[in-house]
A and B are shown apart, each in its own frame.
Chain A
């Protein structure tokens, strides 16, 4: 079957419910046999500001926005202007809006698209407790060619908790909108697939990371609210008690990171989630985790920086601080998921690695992964679990920081008689006693480095796909559009390799050399103004191919055709 997809944006203001509408549409499409994802875009207002739900529904699992949008539904005409940069339109794109939907005098911005009026506000008034966004949902269902049955199923599931009246009025609105939609042009949608046998899931990157953490064995979480990581903490707060764990709302990020160090010292795998400002506060204590060899996992759901930056929008600009933000020589792990679903795998693997290697792992997710909801096939179970090396018996004097061949030393857990020691952020000897002797410093530095560098990480260090003399190297969320660009090229018979780096620290020189073997041209794609990833690659690896960098800061996502253009116009300065 040919790949098909539809890109739809819903915009609204003042609590118009576009996120709920988008989410319902996405999940109903999932029930009807589709895949897709929905990104959230919001302005700075806490409540009532403009918001956009940016959806793509497709015949196969997807991880990227398309180049432009087929359909925009603006609940009120004024709400579209703020998002125009994020919603490229064509002359055959369709905007559905309600001239009466907003304040008097509000109008749609100028675009090349066709505009059709739908009196959503007026129609909502004909339904008891009706709401324009539910009229919109019905109209969209019709316009994209989705059957009504899965929509009812999803409404029943989502609105169950709101009571029968809420469900009835929503359902009446959807039906009303569906009828009104019959008057509107039907898009040549992709919606012909009806394979609903697959075990489909709907989850956000933040939920996926939370599930990966819990599956990996995390049972203690401390956190301080920060956009866009809050939902990850909130999901864990609801889930951990079910599995015998706990989340503590800490007084600040200094407390969160130190609380998880305390819990982990006590033998409980522990994690925190934050965003750039919180990561900056935590860095001193992440060094403590490294030096005292108490494993912890820190998820940074990145947003635009520096400082408070743009709290609600995505960027890949915490790479520098994650790699180099710790004082002293503090080898630790830095990993990054390459898609919404991969937030699960990468987090679970990070838990496993941090625990196995008794060190800190920083996981770099971002707003565009964390807050996007995707319809995917059930993520595969993986066997990576928290498994710490703990001594079983204590013969003679226990040496917590014994110099071992692998660099990992068995770690006793409070309660174990004979295993008492003091974990220390001061440099120490093998027993853990503070020491300023050069030989202790060298040997402990060496041990902490060796355990990470000598570890066999295996194939998961990067996603490697395709072949050919040209390669694109990227990381994190930009992997989605790169992957789609390369698959479009492959369909046209052009082979380009993908190197999406999941393990950013420690570096893997031999693996990278193998991945780059035969590559003559290398395009670096990253979402950072100062080309942090490019600088990282230059310092960590021997890059022999001709290198070109395609970078820009957040928040605008990369689109597949932009990457194709970069490859095709190789010689042109970007």
Chain B
């Protein structure tokens, strides 16, 4: 449907819907909403040609606040919905959004296999290291000694999940980390992520000011990866950036050239009655 259309240059705000977000004031997800609208405007993607797909969580509310097509499904299944849509409709720009619980806990299996399958999707995970929507339980990315969750009052005692290292190992084709407080920087990364073929995994550290107010200070612990190390096509170099103890790097940490999953949708027969032959005795 994109073919003969002139792409209109819209303003970022034209990618927002009229629905007012339910998010708490100061929630990092506002920054991601802003960054995503800037990226869509920057790429001149028409709202009707994009679909934003999510599961359940505060961050998963994203599609409702956009003027694109959207799908707000069940908890943990955004990537499966997005994969089905992209495979059936390769002409669309398909973006999945959600939280760390949605993507790495209940949806963990889809995360692994979507990385591995490598369809041309962009996945934005607003990581706040907590379950915001259900009011403050530990998530897979929560530190083991965080003791403020009533469900795990002595901390989880479990090592956090490393989404980007796992994405790299599982076959994702583009890996980046950003901070929701840097809306323009995030928008630039998202533009590259959307443009890059295959599965682009973008972790946006997005504070939950309500259940993890200390995350307001988060940005201080983030270090932009050195420019010459960003966009490495070498998985081993990328792994060093992702797994180092030197600090938490932001930027585009891996850009691969892995084969993209997109079956051809071209009919080989003109008449469906041809199928009858197989059954005829």
Contacts and interface: CB of A to CB of B under 8 A. Distances in A.
Partners in one complex: yes
A262 interface: yes
Contact of A262 (B48, B82, B268, B280): B82
B272 A243 contact: yes
Interface residues of B, number: 54
Interface stretch (A78-86, A130-138, A249-257, A538-546): A249-257
A375 interface: yes
Nearest to B112: A251
Contacts of B71: 262, 265, 292, 422-424
B88 A262 contact: yes
For A260, A270, A422, which residue has the most chain B Cβ atoms within 10 angstroms? A422
Contacts of A252: 109
B85 A201 contact: no
B281 A419 contact: no
Nearest to A243: B267
Contacts of A415: 1-2, 48-49, 89, 91-92
A425 interface: yes
A202 B276 CA distance: 10
Contacts of B53: 262
A76 to B, nearest CB: 30
B47 A420 contact: yes
B77 A255 contact: yes
B74 A203 contact: no
Interface stretch (A176-184, A212-220, A464-472): A212-220
Interface string A415-445: 1111111111110000001100000000000
B81 interface: yes
A414 B69 contact: yes
Given A251-B109, A258-B80, A262-B80, A270 B275 contact: no
Contacts of A284: 74
A568 interface: no
B266 to A, nearest CB: 6
Given A254-B80, A434-B64, A419 B48 contact: yes
A259 B80 contact: yes
A259 B81 contact: yes
A145 interface: no
A27 interface: yes
A347 interface: no
Nearest to A266: B89
B67 to A, nearest CB: 6
For A261, A266, A292, which residue has the most chain B Cβ atoms within 10 angstroms? A266
Nearest to A255: B80
B84 A248 contact: yes
A239 interface: yes
Contacts of A214: 272, 275
A246 B87 contact: yes
B110 interface: yes
A434 B65 CA distance: 11
Contacts of B2: 415
Contacts of A418: 48
Contacts of B70: 420-423
For A248, A250, A414, A423, which residue has the most chain B Cβ atoms within 10 angstroms? A414
A264 B85 CA distance: 7
B83 interface: yes
Nearest to A426: B72
Contacts of A122: none
Interface string B47-84: 11101010000000101101111111110110011111
A241 B267 CA distance: 7
A27 B81 contact: no
Given A266-B88, A433-B64, A414 B48 contact: yes
Contacts of A339: none
Nearest to A397: B18
A265 B53 CA distance: 11
Interface of B: 1-2, 17, 19, 46-49, 51, 53, 61, 63-64, 66-74, 76-77, 80-89, 91-92, 109-110, 112-113, 263-269, 272, 274-276, 279-281
20 contacts: A27-B281, A211-B275, A214-B272, A243-B272, A246-B87, A254-B77, A255-B80, A255-B83, A258-B74, A259-B81, A259-B84, A262-B80, A263-B84, A266-B84, A375-B281, A415-B91, A416-B48, A422-B69, A423-B71, A426-B72
Interface of A: 27, 30-31, 199-203, 207, 211, 214-215, 219-220, 222, 239, 241-246, 248, 250-252, 254-268, 270, 284-285, 287-288, 292, 375, 378, 414-426, 433-434
Given A244-B265, A251-B109, A266-B92, 15 more contacts: A202-B281, A220-B84, A239-B275, A244-B266, A255-B77, A255-B109, A258-B80, A259-B83, A261-B81, A292-B73, A415-B89, A415-B92, A417-B46, A423-B73, A424-B72
